[in-house]
Amino acid sequence: MSLEAEEKLTASKEDIEEAEKFKTQANECFKKQDFNTAIELYTKAIEKNPYLAVYYANRSFAYLKTECFGYALSDASKAIELDKTYVKGFYRRATANMSLGKWKEALKDYEYVTKVRPTDKDAKLKYNECNKIVKKIAFEKAISVEDNKKNIADTINLEAMSIENDYIGPELENGKVTVNFMLGLMDLYKNQGKLHRKYAYKILLDIKSYFMKQPSLIDVSIGDNDKFTVCGDVHGQFYDLMNIFELNGLPSETNPYLFNGDFVDRGSFSVECIFTLFGFKLLYPNHFFMSRGNHESATMNQMYGFDGEVKSKYTAQMAELFTEVYNWLPLAHCLNKRVIVMHGGLFSRDDVTLEEIRKIDRNRQPPEEGPMCELLWSDPQPQNGRAPSKRGVGCQFGPDVTNQFLELNKLDYVIRSHEVKNDGYEVAHNGKCITVFSAPNYCDTMGNKGAFITLNGKDMIPNYTTYEAVPHPNVKPMAYANTLLSLMC
């Protein structure tokens, strides 16, 4: 008998009963979509009785719901280690790997499930869907060798696109975005209309040309008496984006904004969000700023809905063009040489400088490690030091890491996004690391508030405005997401 098996036999009856109580409470919280409390309770169950696979599998599922894919993967693997016949553990691990874009690993687990449960229709469906994706990726990789120099933007022929007589939406004036165009575009979208493909393509081509000329780190100057607004993730929640403008005023040369990544995915009005934001960027290039988020990437877009939404509302060609555009989005902004803003967070190295960020070669899909990856994926943690990321990508960094980075680069504090917060924002690391998240009631389930930050150039003190979600048309989040995600067990 192994040592672990012997230890398992020594678990007291009281601990076993206590663990079951915690699991029951956790399950209730999970049903109410209070996933963070569920995680805490599953953890208590594990502390009382760390030998039951179901506790780890359940916590893995809760971690999946909170996008802690790295932790979810670890828990699922632990469940399998404890019980190699526990099918749900393989399901969870497959889902975690899939969420991290590790399709081959996910396919192995689905394949195992179909072998041990040959009559399980759900398992067979997931295996087939995952297998399709693996084959599709392999095919695309094969042909990409031939098309390596192919540039989608160069294949777009705007002249060949005619405007139909029955089109009633806004029109570019001499090929340019104007205030009237933007007002018309927002009204069109509020009424669930669609921008003509010719204008949509023109905006994408123009915005790509603009971003290609920008460095990876943008310096932003704010006058002493000028207001500046920083928004976090909006994730395709167009009607909440409109509410931000209602509360804080439309973007203009006297009302500048920075949107800090994750404009798309999950919410099913991502096309409306991104064309509104790109339109304002073209209208006010020196007073409207956009940072790349981890969801401005091909893998995330294929999984979480944006790719499917663009193909549904426009074409597969446009979806590819978006990928090209996103590769050129700046990675960070420095406000008045005092505040750095990036989507994710800080680094696994202590010596990263603003100059290094400025020179990052960003025209690519996010790598799995290094400064570019960490700018998009990292998260703060309350304790000092660093830890592996709960997401499985990037790193977690403590207050000492933040202080050292700020001192090295002579900065006051960091603003980042990337994480749902109940109040829409969170101040951590003794006020030196601020999270802002602008998608209220994220995915129509989380019940969180949204927030944005306003500051002025003189003192750069952050002020927080919070707000609730507003109604939207009856199109559910993830409506265009990968089929496998909607099948998640």
* pLDDT at residue 129, as a whole number: 87
Q: Which residue has the tokens 């599709």?
A: 136
Least confidently predicted of 59-63, 96-100, 104-108: 96-100
Least confidently predicted of 146-155, 196-205, 380-389: 146-155
Query: Tens digit of pLDDT for each residue in 227-276?
Result: 999 999 999 999 999 999 999 999 999 999 999 999 999 999 999 999 99
Mean pLDDT of 427-449: 96
Mean pLDDT of 94-106: 90
Instruction: State the Cα–Cα distance between residues 376 and 318, nearest whole angstrom.
Output: 24
Amino acid at 426: E
Does the pLDDT at position 487 exceed 70?
no
Mean pLDDT of 203-229: 98
Instruction: State the Cα–Cα distance between residues 435 and 415, nearest whole angstrom.
Output: 6
Identify the band that residue 50 occupies on the pLDDT scale cut at 50, 70 and 90.
Answer: very high
Tell me whether residue 418 is one of the annotated catalytic residues. no
DSSP 300-320: HHHHHSHHHHHHHHS-HHHHH
Q: Please tell me the chain's helix, strand, coil percentages from 3-state DSSP, rounded to the nearest 5.
A: 50, 10, 40
As a whole number of Å, the CA-based R_g of the chain is 24
Least confidently predicted of 59-73, 199-213, 244-258, 336-350: 59-73
Domains of the chain: 3-143 (1.25.40.10), 158-486 (3.60.21.10)
Least confidently predicted of 34-43, 57-66, 140-149: 140-149
User: In 3D, which of 64, 26, 41 has the Cα closest to residue 443?
Assistant: 64
* pLDDT at residue 5, as a whole number: 47
DSSP 172-232: -BTTB--HHHHHHHHHHHHTT----HHHHHHHHHHHHHHHHTS-SEEEE---TT-EEEEE-
Does the pLDDT at position 486 exceed 80?
no
From 196, 235, 295, 429, the catalytic residue = 295
Query: Tens digit of pLDDT for each residue in 31-48?
Result: 998 999 999 999 999 999
* pLDDT at residue 147, as a whole number: 54
* pLDDT at residue 6, as a whole number: 45
DSSP 47-111: HH-TT-HHHHHHHHHHHHHTT-HHHHHHHHHHHHHH-TT-HHHHHHHHHHHHHTT-HHHHHHHHH
Of 313 and 299, the structure prediction assigns the larger pLDDT to 313
Does the pLDDT at position 3 exceed 60?
no
* pLDDT at residue 489, as a whole number: 41
Query: Tens digit of pLDDT for each residue in 132-141?
Result: 888 988 887 7
Instruction: State the Cα–Cα distance between residues 359 and 375, nearest whole angstrom.
Output: 13
Mean pLDDT of 66-91: 94
Mean pLDDT of 92-117: 91
* pLDDT at residue 149, as a whole number: 61
| Alpha carbons within 13 A on the beta-carbon side of 424 | 22
* pLDDT at residue 322, as a whole number: 98
Instruction: State the Cα–Cα distance between residues 26 and 279, nearest whole angstrom.
Output: 45
Mean pLDDT of 448-460: 97
Query: Tens digit of pLDDT for each residue in 281-302?
Result: 999 999 999 999 999 999 899 9
* pLDDT at residue 1, as a whole number: 42
Does the pLDDT at position 8 exceed 60?
no
